[in-house]
């Protein structure tokens, strides 16, 4: 017994290091706060893209203790100063996550208290907050009170949950899969096809619906394809629309698609991960008419509400279909099972271990209210106009007027080279894109649309302001002149 007590005493002395003293906690917090304050104060001046990769040797786990100062220094050089700077207002390339400060404080509270948000019995306060956020979003999008939902890690899991519910509602399994038809746009986010594969619908029939000149789904073509498939003995069951596509920011005609889905008895899913929260704006809110007709909706607060990466959401009207996939019981959970308790997030998600991610959304909404979020979204729409108009004045061509804050542009090589081919124009714009990435002050990305290489702008960061766009335009001017010079040499 004496040896056992000695062993426990020795182990306790070492393991106690995992509970730092008040003095140590103050020191660590001071150093991290200093780093965060410096980062935020300098963010406008920092490059939004670094082409370097991290030194892997500095990030290896060597199982030794290191001072917080050394760790923060390594984090700066090997993490923060590599690749895209997603916290920067200059991140205009992909749809950015946000990173508002109060969300970080929400995460701090959630992590220190280690609240569990999977089952009401274990974390009634945390679960209530997450359920109230689902109820608030249901109200924003005009969904009924009986709507159920979940706060996910992002749009991919949100879409996965919704499509699983659609599969189970229509009992798409076994030999029925090969005859079942899913309708979507070529502009749909690729996580949709990924989700379909994961849930066993890889062999279902995918119908891509024609698009109009604004990259929106053509409802007439949708209706025709459904009728043709039914006449052929197939089993149409699911249509997916987008409320803001990643490539072009397009909003499909949600109401018309919803009417078709209802008439044809199809599950109607809307992916509003990027664009959904623009429904809060005066300028674009009307474009979401019909979104409330959806059977399920995916939205990303870490995009449209400017929160840090790691918070998506799904809203679903059919609780029974959702429960079929995710509700399960086990003997060791018998204390937590009570039908009179509020909805358990674990019953509507693949996750049982559930981080209290809702606090990063609840805290900012409680402190800021909704008006700053609305103003920030509205601002992005007008910044998109400002950017596009300035590009046209510089001789660029731009895509059709966007529904939201994603658009694209390219330099018409015919202004530089007579009888330029499409391949030559693509090569020129590819070189221009490379010069922009080398500069790195503002990050833009590219895509291909019907074989044309174009440069994308995705204006959504809460830190993107007019001066950000002005810096971007100055960068583009410089990179364009350099590309013109290099392209002549290469020709």
Backbone angles phi, psi at 9, to 5 degrees: -65, -45
Q: Which domains, and CATH codes, for the chain? A: 107-368 (3.40.640.10), 371-490 (3.90.1150.170)
Name the residue with higher pLDDT: 197 or 191. Answer: 197
Q: Which residue's structure tokens are 């009888």?
A: 419
pLDDT of 275 above 50 = yes
pLDDT of 371 above 90 = yes
Name the residue with higher pLDDT: 32 or 189. Answer: 32
In this prediction, what percent of the chain has a pLDDT beyond 70?
A: 96
Q: What is the mean pLDDT of residues 104-110?
A: 96
Name every residue whose Cβ is closer than 8 Å to that of residue 27 and which is 6 or more positions away in sequence. Answer: 68
By the 10 Å C-beta count (0-12 exposed, 13-18 middle, 19+ buried), 481 is classed as exposed
What is the structure's pLDDT at 325? Answer: 81
335 pLDDT band, cuts 50/70/90, is very low
CA distance 295 to 143: 9
> Hey, what are 402's tokens?
């966007």
Backbone angles phi, psi at 69, to 5 degrees: -65, -45
What is the structure's pLDDT at 479? Answer: 96
Question: Residue 290 — left, alpha, or beta (φ > 0 → left; ψ -120 to 50 → alpha)?
Answer: left
Q: What is the mean pLDDT of residues 22-49?
A: 95
341 pLDDT band, cuts 50/70/90, is low
Question: Residue 385 — left, alpha, or beta (φ > 0 → left; ψ -120 to 50 → alpha)?
Answer: alpha
490 pLDDT band, cuts 50/70/90, is low
CA distance 258 to 376: 29
Q: What is the mean pLDDT of residues 446-450?
A: 90
pLDDT single digits (tens) 150-186:
999 888 899 999 999 999 999 999 999 999 999 999 8
Backbone angles phi, psi at 224, to 5 degrees: -65, -45
Q: What secondary structure letter does DSSP report for 450?
A: T
Q: What is the mean pLDDT of residues 437-446?
A: 94
Mean of pLDDT over the chain:
92
pLDDT of 336 above 50 = no
pLDDT single digits (tens) 56-82:
999 999 999 999 999 999 999 999 999
Name every residue whose Cβ is closer than 8 Å to that of residue 311 and which is 6 or more positions away in sequence. Answer: 151, 152, 153, 154, 300, 301, 302, 357, 358, 360, 361
Q: What is the mean pLDDT of residues 216-236?
A: 97
Q: 10 Å Cβ neighbour count for 435? A: 18
Closest CA to 307 of 256, 255, 364: 364
Pairing of the two strands 397-398 and 312-316: unpaired
Q: Using only C-alpha atoms, what is the Rg of the chain?
A: 25
Name every residue whose Cβ is closer than 8 Å to that of residue 189 and which is 6 or more positions away in sequence. Answer: 155, 159, 242, 245, 246, 271, 273
Asked if 264 contacts 226 with a C-beta cutoff of 8 angstroms, the reply is yes
Closest CA to 166 of 233, 104, 237: 237
Q: What is the mean pLDDT of residues 15-23?
A: 94
Q: What is the mean pLDDT of residues 420-432?
A: 92
Give one DSSP letter per residue of 159-174, joined into a string.
HHHHHHHHHHHTT--G
Q: What is the mean pLDDT of residues 453-475?
A: 96
pLDDT of 337 above 60 = no
pLDDT of 332 above 80 = no
Least confidently predicted of 177-186, 279-288, 331-340, 418-427: 331-340
Q: 10 Å Cβ neighbour count for 390? A: 15
Q: What is the mean pLDDT of residues 236-256?
A: 93
Asked if 359 contacts 107 with a C-beta cutoff of 8 angstroms, the reply is yes
Q: Which residue's structure tokens are 């018998």?
A: 334
**What CA dihedral angle connects 452, 430, 84 and 160, to 10 degrees?**
30
Name the residue with higher pLDDT: 329 or 260. Answer: 260
pLDDT single digits (tens) 259-268:
999 999 999 9
What is the structure's pLDDT at 431? Answer: 95
What is the structure's pLDDT at 329? Answer: 58
């Amino acid at each position: 017994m004496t040896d056992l007590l000695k062993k426990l005493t020795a182990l306790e002395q070492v393991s106690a290091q995992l509970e730092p003293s008040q003095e140590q906690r103050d020191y660590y917090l001071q150093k991290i706060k200093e780093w965060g304050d410096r980062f935020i104060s300098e963010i406008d001046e920092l490059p939004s893209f670094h082409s370097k990769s991290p030194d892997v040797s500095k990030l290896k786990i060597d199982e030794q203790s290191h001072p917080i100062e050394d760790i923060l220094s390594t984090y700066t050089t090997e993490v923060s100063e590599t690749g895209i700077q997603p916290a920067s207002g200059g991140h205009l390339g992909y749809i950015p996550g946000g990173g508002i400060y109060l969300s970080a404080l929400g995460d701090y509270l959630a992590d220190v208290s280690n609240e569990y948000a999977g089952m009401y019995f274990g974390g009634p306060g945390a679960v209530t907050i997450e359920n109230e956020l689902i109820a608030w979003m249901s109200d924003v999008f005009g969904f009924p009170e009986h709507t159920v939902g979940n706060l996910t890690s992002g749009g991919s899991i949100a879409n996965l949950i919704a499509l699983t519910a659609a599969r189970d509602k229509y009992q798409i399994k076994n030999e029925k899969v090969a005859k079942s038809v899913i309708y979507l746009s070529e502009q749909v986010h690729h996580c949709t096809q990924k989700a379909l594969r994961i849930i066993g619908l890889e062999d279902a029939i995918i119908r891509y619906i024609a698009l109009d000149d604004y990259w929106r789904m053509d409802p007439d073509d949708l209706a025709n394809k459904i009728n043709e498939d039914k006449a052929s003995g197939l089993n149409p069951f699911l249509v997916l629309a987008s409320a803001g596509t990643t490539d072009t920011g397009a909003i499909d005609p949600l109401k018309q698609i919803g009417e078709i889905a209802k008439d044809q008895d199809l599950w109607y899913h809307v992916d509003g991960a990027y664009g959904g929260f623009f429904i809060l704006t005066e300028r674009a809110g009307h474009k979401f008419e019909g979104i409330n007709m959806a059977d399920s909706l995916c939205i990303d607060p870490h995009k449209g509400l400017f929160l840090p990466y790691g918070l998506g959401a799904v809203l679903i009207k059919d609780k029974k279909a959702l429960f079929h996939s995710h509700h399960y019981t086990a003997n060791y959970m018998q204390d937590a099972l009570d039908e009179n308790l509020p909805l358990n997030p674990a019953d509507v998600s693949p996750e049982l271990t559930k981080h209290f991610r809702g606090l990063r959304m609840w805290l900012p909404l409680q402190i800021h209210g909704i008006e700053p979020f609305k103003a920030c979204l509205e601002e992005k729409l007008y910044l998109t106009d400002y950017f596009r108009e300035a590009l046209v004045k510089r001789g660029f061509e731009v895509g059709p007027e966007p529904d939201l804050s994603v658009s694209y542009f390219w330099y018409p090589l015919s202004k530089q080279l007579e009888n330029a081919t499409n391949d030559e124009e693509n090569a020129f714009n590819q070189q221009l894109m490379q010069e922009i990435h080398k500069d790195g002050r503002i990050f833009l990305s590219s895509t291909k649309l019907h074989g044309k290489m174009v440069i994308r702008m995705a204006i959504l960061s809460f830190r993107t302001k007019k001066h950000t766009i002005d810096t971007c335009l100055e960068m583009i001017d410089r990179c364009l002149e350099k590309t013109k010079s290099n392209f002549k040499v290469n020709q």
